[in-house]
Structure formats: C-alpha cells, structure tokens
Structure 1
C-alpha cells in the first residue's frame, strides 16, 4: 500500500492514542504500546507502513533533542568529575558484556565473525530507554543522572570506534581510529567559544522574544549535532555538547521546558519505527538463543554495574538503580547489526539475533524500571516523576 506522510502520521499518532489508552488501562508501559503498534502495522505485520526507515530517520531527531535537554541540566564541572569515574566502569563493563555475547553465540555455533559482532553489539546500553525513563527535574536524582550520562557518553565513543572498526574490516571506511578522540575536544572548545561570544550576548539582548529563543535553541542543537557528525562523532554527542555548553545560560531551564513536547513527538515515532522494522518471520530461527541472551543481558548488566559502581563508593541502592536502568542493549547495537550485515560481516541470522535481543531487553527493562523506580511514565502515582 502506497501512502503519503499524512497517512503515515495518522497511523502513528491515532494508533498510538488507542494503544496508549489500552496500555494505561492495563497498567503497561507506554513504550511497549508504541513498539507493539509498529510491529502490528509495519511491513512484517499488516503492511500498512511499507517503509518504516523513512519514519526512523525523522524519529532520530527525538533522541537528539533528548540529549540536548539533558545537557542543559548538567553543569560542565559536574560532567568532568563524573566522567573520571564513569570511564573505568564503562570500559570494564563493556568487556564483561562483550564476553557474554561472544560466548553465547559461540555456544550456539555461530561463526567467529558473527560471534565477534554479536559480542560488540552487547557492549552498549540504550541511551533512549535509559534517559527517557530518568526523571529530569527531581533534585535527588541529579547525581544518578550525571553518572548515567557519563557512562552512556563513554559507551557512545566506544560505539563510534566499533563502527569505524567494522568499516575498516569491510574496506568501506577511511576514518582513522584516533579521529573521535581529537574531534571531541575540538568540538567542545568551538562550542564554548560560540556560546560565550555569540549566543549569550544574543540571549541577553532578545530574551523578551520567546519565539526567537525557541528557534535559537533548536538551531544551535541541530547545528552542533550536524557538525559533530561531519567530524566523525555522532549526532547524540553533538547535541549533548550543545546542551552542556549552553547550560550556564539563565534561560537554560526555559529552553528545556519549551522543547519537551517536541522531543516527545519524535520519540513516539522512534519506538513505532523500532517495532515496525522488526522482521517477525525470522524470529523462529533465533528465538531460543535470543531469549537466553536477553535473560543474560538483563541479569548480568545490573549485577555488573552494581558491583563496579560499589567499588567507587556509590551507594548500593543507587548502583542497583543505575544497573537496572542500563540493563538492556542499545539502539547502537541495531546500527552495528545493520552496518555489519551490509558489509557482509554478519549473517542474516546473526542480525536477527541482535534485533530480537534488543526488542526483548527494551521491553523487559522498561517494565522493570516503570514498575519499580521513579520515572516520567510510571503507572503508580508514587513513582511518577518528570
């Protein structure tokens, strides 16, 4: 069925209204409703949406805005302090998660290259799940938020290196492995200078015009995100840097509040596209290893983060909280699977295993957080915090 963009939006948001209503009545997380809707009407379901990748490209803007808003809530000095702690935890935990994925895929007789890619895909936790379910305006969660952002930023850098490595292995990349480490300090310095020399004077002069401030914030976020992509980083890292460098502005909180509806609009599309892109026909071939791998991820990730963070004198309750919020694999895992499949470094079966594991861990991890920890979409009033 051919459809225009209006029909696609009709299916996404009218369908999301129905599914979200059912989810609230049955006390289910809204994220699961959006994923289920995508699977139902996508090309592997009823076929009403034939090309979910078009919506997926648009929905990526929601992730960019999410990282920008989180950057607005974090002062640069606090970020530097937490990165010192997060780096060691992120590196050690990534080795544990890689070994888990590699070992299980070898046990199920996947090829060596498949096992390597599957192991790499298991290393990362979902930025979108972890941060979407994190309260942003509750003071006593601020340290946990900084810690999670530090871990996810280190993982983002590792994911970039992984994608570069896959490109080198396939012969499709000319980017040197050192480039992200040089590009990031340059990006931060350039953004700091632009904010101090250009943006803050403009904000001080035109702070009465709310429409102008809204457009300025969006333009700054997307400009830095695009600049980051050009120099070898990711849109997410660029958006976060844009937010952090603007966090010292007196209108940072106004910008954060103004952009939340726009962020949520695109995030609904993200989860819909995720469900629509999953090939249900290949599920039977990988269902057993996918379920076992998902269970291992859901158990090993919280345990690993709990004990590593405890080693850095974090409170046990906070360490468990962070561990469960990061207890899934990542949207980067799906990107790694796509790149490796296109480069013929991963079989169709291996790609399906990564996709199935992602869907299962996204769903169960969301359930765990929504029903047990403070979050913006909790079904229990005492846990609902925005």
Structure 2
C-alpha cells in the first residue's frame, strides 16, 4: 500500500506539473496515471479494489462539504425548482441512451442498464469545477446542487432495483429508502441540536477536537445511512446540512478541503486503473459515439429544460455544460450490474470508457470556457 501511494502521489505530482505547463486540466493527469501504472498498464499497482474503497471517502467528504454550505430552507426551495427538470432530463437521457446502444448491437438488457447509467451527471466534476463563491452564494450553485441531489436519489433507487434483480424484485427494499430518509434526517437533526452543537460550543477552543468531531459525525451518519438502505453519500450530505446553521460550519469546511482533495486524487486514479485496456479494441467506436451523444445532447437538453422553467439563457447554458457528462454513480451501477451478471465485460468497459471520455472532454470544456478554480485563462479563474 505504501508503494502504491508513492506511485500515485509522486506520479500525480509529476504529471500535474506537465499538465500545468501545457495548460491541461489536472483531472486528466490523474486518470492517465491510473491507466499507465494500473493492472492493465505496467502492473505496478494491482490492488485497485482497495484503492477504490478508499477513494470513495473523497466523494463522501465532497457531499459533506456541500451540506455544510447549504441552509435547510434553501435546500427545500432548490429541490422544488430542480425536481421537474431532473426527472424529465433523466427519462430523456435514459431513452436516448437505450435507443443508441440497441442500434449498436448490444442486447436489450445491457442497453437498459447503459441507458440508466446515462441519466446522471458527475458530482465531482460539477462541484469541483464550480467557483466557491458561486457554490455558496449564487443561484447557479444552488440549482446544480439540487439537480445532483435529485439524481443521487434516483441513482439509489436504480442501485436497489439492480441489486435485487438476481433474486427477484423486493418491494420492501424499494420502499425502505423513502421511509429511512426522513427518519435519518430527524435523528441527525436531534443529535446535532442536543449533542454535537453543545460539544462544539463547550470545546470550540480546541481545533483538533473540532476536526475529529466533524470527521466522526460525517462518517457516522454516512454509516447509519448505509445500514438504513441509503448510501454513505446521502448520509454525509445530511450530516453536513444539519451542521450548516452552526457558526463553526465554515471553519470545518475549510479544514476538510485538503483531506477531500487527497481522496479525490485517488478516485480519478482508480478510474483510470480499472479500465480494461484489453477490451478497448471492441468498444472504442461505440464509446466515441456514446460519449459524443452525451457531450452534445446533455448541455442542449439541460439548457432547453432550464430555460423552459424560467432560468435565464446564460445560466441554462452554464449549468448544462457543467452537467454534460456521466457520473460516478454510473460506474457504480456498471460494477454492480457486472457482478449480478446483468451486463457483460464488454458493456462494462464501454461504460467505463465513455465515463473517462466524458469526464475528460467535459473538464476541458469547463476549464477553457467557464469560470472555475483551475482555469487556464486568468479572466476565468475564480476560487
């Protein structure tokens, strides 16, 4: 593990340096490094399953930080505005993906799974490349968070359905998240009010204690959510929301950002490392067509739907391009479907290749054309 970490972070530092010199997004450097030294490259890093589990912590912290920056009243208002757009776009993306994949010669069952995977956009790309001032204080940030959250709820339902298909659909497993969500939110709110906040107020002089309590709270609620049939990510977001009203929430957010970035580097590395390069010959053309459709249609469709629901044309295009890729949840759905024998290795590699292509090209589009923290042009760089 120590040698793997050495390769990942020393290699990432070297490739990131080259990427900055040649004005390329850093995310691409991490993915290329994973492809180069992973089990399908030089074989220097073999245990990608363990690294994948570790890297998931980065997504958990990302959702926790999102929750810390959003007041509960603002969240309710945002979800009301974004639900119709998200549901309509999800249905259309799934249908278009299904039709394209069927016409590419894939079986109907695999086409359904791939179509479902196209419904979602990347939380990491969308939020990491959004300026902090936009995320915290502007309508665009609230709108994006609302869309991504509704997509996360839909993704959880899809995961539950796929997970139970091997033994037949279980209605209880499908209803459980709808019951568990408000229960978890109520318990978390009560725990914050009567336990966490009093502790923070009593020991607010000890920064190390605040850091530890925040980590424990985030991962504790995440674990509770997983046990209740939701997900670590949803639990972490609830943990953040319940702390958002605390005056110390921004201090916690600032201290957790470096830790989040540490794990997100691992996430993008493992994304590249898990790509089976031996099957690329069979899927490269299909992946190009699928990625091309996503990168073209998603921004246009989001723009149309958002503009239709009273958003300005400029804002609709901005949000559309920032959400113009597929999601980390898409990869998770692909892995679960593969383990359940719902899709073949070829279909799984098609989804992984499509994800990498859309992550890469979408990152280029955002970095070169919209305000973001790692923009190449000075006039677009906003922290």
Compute the TM-score of the two structures, normalised by the length of structure 2.
0.97
- Deviation string, structure 1 residues 332-381 (Cα, Å, up to 9, x no partner): 11111111111111122211111111110010001111111111222222
1:99 Cα offset (Å): 1.0
What are the residue-to-residue correspondences of 1:173-212 with 2, within 5 Å?
Answer: 176-212=173-209
Residue 93 of structure 1 corresponds to 89
Does the C-alpha gap of structure 1 residues 139 and 101 become closer, same or farther in structure 2, counting only changes over 3 Å? closer
Contact 1:70–1:136, Cα closer than 8 Å, also in 2: no
Residue 39 of structure 2 corresponds to 43
Q: Distance in 2 between matches of 1:136 and 1:228?
A: 27
Contact 2:135–2:142, Cα closer than 8 Å, also in 1: no
Residue 289 of structure 1 corresponds to 286
Residue 254 of structure 1 corresponds to 251
1:180 Cα offset (Å): 1.2
Contact 2:135–2:141, Cα closer than 8 Å, also in 1: no
Residue 70 of structure 2 corresponds to 74
Aligned mate of 2:154, from 136, 154, 158: 158
Please state if 1:220 is matched with 2:217.
yes
Residue 130 of structure 1 corresponds to 126
Residue 145 of structure 1 corresponds to 141
Q: Distance in 1 between matches of 2:210 and 2:264?
A: 23
Residue 18 of structure 1 corresponds to 14
Contact 2:70–2:241, Cα closer than 8 Å, also in 1: yes
Q: Distance in 1 between matches of 2:2 and 2:340?
A: 34
Contact 1:135–1:141, Cα closer than 8 Å, also in 2: no
Aligned mate of 2:332, from 330, 335, 341: 335
What are the residue-to-residue correspondences of 1:294-305 with 2, within 5 Å?
Answer: 294-305=291-302
Of 315-324 and 22-31, more deviation after overlay is shown by 315-324
Q: Which runs of 4+ in 1 moved over 6 A?
A: none
Q: Distance in 2 between matches of 1:179 and 1:56?
A: 27
Q: Distance in 1 between matches of 2:115 and 2:341?
A: 17
Does the C-alpha gap of structure 1 residues 17 and 142 become closer, same or farther in structure 2, counting only changes over 3 Å? same
Secondary structure at the aligned position of 1:176 is classed as: helix
- Deviation string, structure 1 residues 312-339 (Cα, Å, up to 9, x no partner): 2111111111111110011111111111
- Deviation string, structure 1 residues 184-233 (Cα, Å, up to 9, x no partner): 11111111111111111111111111111111111110101111111111
Residue 270 of structure 1 corresponds to 267
Q: Distance in 1 between matches of 2:382 and 2:64?
A: 20
Secondary structure at the aligned position of 2:39 is classed as: coil
Residue 279 of structure 1 corresponds to 276
Residue 233 of structure 1 corresponds to 230
Name stretches of at least 5 consecutive residues in structure 2 with no aligned partner.
none
Compute the TM-score of the two structures, normalised by the length of structure 1.
0.96
Please state if 1:355 is matched with 2:352.
yes
Q: CA RMSD in A?
A: 1.3
